[in-house]
Amino acid sequence: MIQITRSIAVDEGELEFDFVRSPGPGGQNVNKVSTAAQLRFNITATTSLADDVKQRLAALAGRRVTADGVLIIQARRFRSQGKNREDAITRFVDLVRRAAKPPKTRRKTKPTAASKRRRLDAKRRVARTKQRRRPVDRNTD
């Protein structure tokens, strides 16, 4: 079990790993050893997460979620398979932790008297400027 928060734990059996060849530096091993890790986690099928957490996780993950609801995290920062696997798990845990926090609800606020006064003063200034741009009407006598 991977403990994410006090109330959320994900079974390691729900995480699937594929190892593929990684681009970039690696010397002679780069063409022989599959060191890049791909972590796959089925968001829709998991029972470890609540529905609201699943929705936030899918939204946070963005393009990393496939059409069938599978989250794919690619880790190829390191040259060893084990470190890349740990990196993928760490990034997964961080993503789920962020999704577990409910968003803050917005509280309506009223504008202060000073801000209302500033807004109205600015409107008056603009109106006065526009009024002065108008042509002078000489037939009002």
Residues 92/41, Cβ–Cβ less than 8 Å: yes
Token pair of 40 as six digits: 């796959």
User: Could you give the number of structural domains in the chain?
Assistant: 1
Per-residue pLDDT of 40-76, as tens digits, reads 888 888 778 888 888 888 888 888 888 888 888 888 8
The CATH number that applies at residue 54 is 3.30.160.20
Which residue range is the domain that position 60 belongs to? 2-100
Q: What is the pLDDT of residues 101-113, one digit of tens each?
A: 888 899 999 999 9
Q: What is the pTM of this model?
A: 0.64
Q: Where are the beta strands (DSSP E) in 1-141?
A: 2-3, 9-10, 15-20, 36-42, 70-75
Within-domain flag for 130: no
